[in-house]
Amino acid sequence: MLHTPTTEAQACAVVASIVEARIPLAVRGGGTRSGLGRPDNAVSTLSSAGLSGITLYEPAEMVIGARAGTPLKLIEQTLAERGQMLPFEPMDHRALLGSEGEPTIGAIAAGNISGPRRINAGAARDSLIGIKLINGRGELVKSGGRVMKNVTGLDLVKLVAGSFGTLGFLTEVTFRVLPRPERVVTLIWEGLSDEAAVALLSAALGSPFEPMAAAHLPAGIGGEDARTLLRLENFSASISYRAAELARLLKAHGRPELIEGRGSDKLWREVRDAAFFAGGDEAVWRLSLAPTNGPKATAAIARAIPQARWFYDWGGGLVWLAVPAHGDAGAAAIRTATKPLGGHATLVRAPDAVRAVVPVFEPLAESLMRVSADIKKSFDPAGIFEPGRMYAGI
């Protein structure tokens, strides 16, 4: 059954009735990311489609608030009209997951969905400053607010960001925003090995020239030759200066090509959306590691899974990995490689049957699992919200 409340009060009433009947409930925005996490066994769906619209926009205060079902497109257009943007460049999962629909701002919060800018400007959770959520008691709970400096009480905003609907139904979210840069350019070095590329990216990210995004595409990913990418965003005068300084700092790696405009935008959209893996039937993983451990992890994985393909974002710290989808979709080999390096792996795309048996999110230490399960219960004692979406019991 599909519930589409148009007010918070209606949504509270829906949740209260469902709690009574103990019906597993899927939480939906635009539905473009419903393939993330473990496959759901929900009987009913609670949609945010009826809760749409921007509730607050103060450009001079760099803050925007909107009902959870507001299309992301509307948020981005509204911000662009005033020369602003979301700081964290949220990924669009449609190409990778082959899904349709309009992404919503609520799902950006619920999934903590970020992109290449995350390495410098923080994740969605770092810009999310306020939420309203209906918990599993049918109560409307607020946390945070509309100001960016706020340490009043426990930070439930962070807890809800990235909880994939397991703690409740978001009705409204408020984000910090930033001015759009005057000029954006991309520096590209060709032909580097993974290790050399990550060394270049580390040197650049550790320089005073503030690259806002740093990625490496090995040979065969979107092109014949390996490409190492740094993106600069700033006032026009600074861009020329900083691009020249970075080229000088990194001259041991060769001379970079500089691109901007459509070509640059398209390239970063592909990195952001892992578009290089769109359309295929491989399983796709997302590995988070300390940047210098990125190439170590991929080398170990390649030994176990020779067909594996990958590229790096976040200076080497985010590895997008495509492997054959059969068996455990490489889970054992991948996690054996990442865990000793202090990182973790998430299965982003795989057939339902695989995601039903392979832990999609990195298994947690027992004590953290117990705490997480208890937190889930504290929000949702009857266990109705997206049961098992993240882990069995959460």
Partner 1 sequence: MSAIAFPEPRAEILARRESILAGLARLVVPEALITSEDERRPYETDALTAYRRMPLAVVLPSTTQEVAAVLRYCGEQGVPVVPRGAGTSLAGGAIPQEDAVVIGVSKMNRILEIDYANRVAKVQAGVTNLAVTGAVSADGFFYAPDPSSQLACSIGGNIGMNSGGAHCLKYGVTTNNVLGVTLVMLDGSIVEIGGAHLDAPGLDLLGLIVGSEGQLGIVTEATVRILRSAEGARPVLFGFPTSEQAGAAVAAIIGAGIIPVAMEFMDKPAIEICEAFAKAGYPMDVEALLIIEVEGSDAEMDAQLARIVAIAREHGVKTVKESKSAMETAAIWKGRKSAFGATGRIADYICMDGTIPTGQLPFVLRRMDEIIKGYGLRVANVFHAGDGNLHPLILYNCNDPVEAQKAEDAGNDILKLCVEVGGCLTGEHGVGIEKRDLMTVQFNEADLHQQQRVRAVFDPRWLLNPAKVFPLEGRIAA
Residues 13-42 that bind partner 1 (CB under 8 A): none
Could you say which of 2, 342, 352, 392 contacts partner 1 (CB under 8 A)?
Answer: 342
- List the one residue from 27, 157, 214, 229 that touches partner 1 (CB under 8 A): 157
Among 100, 208, 224, 252, binds partner 1 (CB under 8 A): 208
Binding partner 1 (rule: CB under 8 A), the pick from 54, 148, 259, 300 is 148
Count helices and strands in the chain by DSSP H and E runs: 14, 18
DSSP state string for 111-172: HT---TTHHHH--HHHHEEEEEEE-TTS-EEEEE-SSS----S--HHHHHTTSTTSS-EEEE
Rg (C-alpha) for the chain, rounded Å, is 21
Q: Of 211-250, which residues contact partner 1 (CB under 8 A)?
A: 235, 237-238, 241
What 3 state SS string does 318-380 have? EEEEEECCCCCCCHHHHHHHHHHHCCEEEEEECCHHHHHHCCCCCCCCHHHHHHHHHHHHHHC
Which of 19, 63, 221, 331 touches partner 1 (CB under 8 A)?
Answer: 63
* Cβ partners under 8 Å of residue 105, min gap 6: 66, 68, 70, 71, 72, 75, 173, 175
Residues numbered 76-105 forming contacts with partner 1, rule: CB under 8 A: 83
Cα–Cα distance between 376 and 169 in angstroms, integer? 13
Interface pick for partner 1 out of 4, 44, 99, 150 (rule CB under 8 A): 150
Sign of the Cα torsion 382, 388, 390, 393 reads: positive
Distance between CA atoms of 142 and 380, rounded to whole angstroms?
Answer: 15
Find the shortest distance in angstroms from Cβ 293 to partner 1: 8
Instruction: Give min distance, CB of 129 to partner 1, in A.
Output: 10
In the window 269-328, what residues touch partner 1 (CB under 8 A)?
Answer: 288-293, 314, 317-318
Out of 20, 81, 139, 257, the only residue in the binding site for partner 1 (CB under 8 A) is: 139
Alpha-carbon gap, residue 16 to 34, rounded angstroms: 23
Tokens encoding 53: 């619209």
CA 91 – CA 273 distance, rounded (Å): 5
DSSP string, 28-48: ESSSTTTTSSSPP--SEEEE-
Query: Which region among 22-30, 34-42, 57-65, 304-312 touches partner 1 (by CB under 8 A)?
Result: 57-65
Shortest Å distance, C-beta 100 to partner 1: 27
Closest CA to 256 of 343, 190, 177, 167: 190
Contacts with partner 1 by CB under 8 A: the residue count is: 85
Paired residues of 26 in beta bridges: 45
Binding pattern for the stretch 98-137 against partner 1, x by CB under 8 A and - elsewhere: --------------x-x---xx--xx-xx--------x--
Q: Which of 29, 106, 111, 343 binds partner 1 (CB under 8 A)?
A: 343
**Distance of closest approach, residue 16 Cβ to partner 1, in angstroms:** 13
- 210 is written with which tokens? 């503030």
State the minimum distance, in angstroms, from the CB of residue 355 to partner 1. Answer: 15
What character string, x for contact with partner 1 (CB under 8 A) and - otherwise, covers 163-202?
x--xx----------xxx-x----------------x--x
Contact call for residue 365 and partner 1 (CB under 8 A): yes
- Per CB under 8 A, the segment of 17-25, 34-42, 95-103, 140-148 that binds partner 1 is 140-148
Asked if 44 interacts with partner 1 (CB under 8 A), we say no
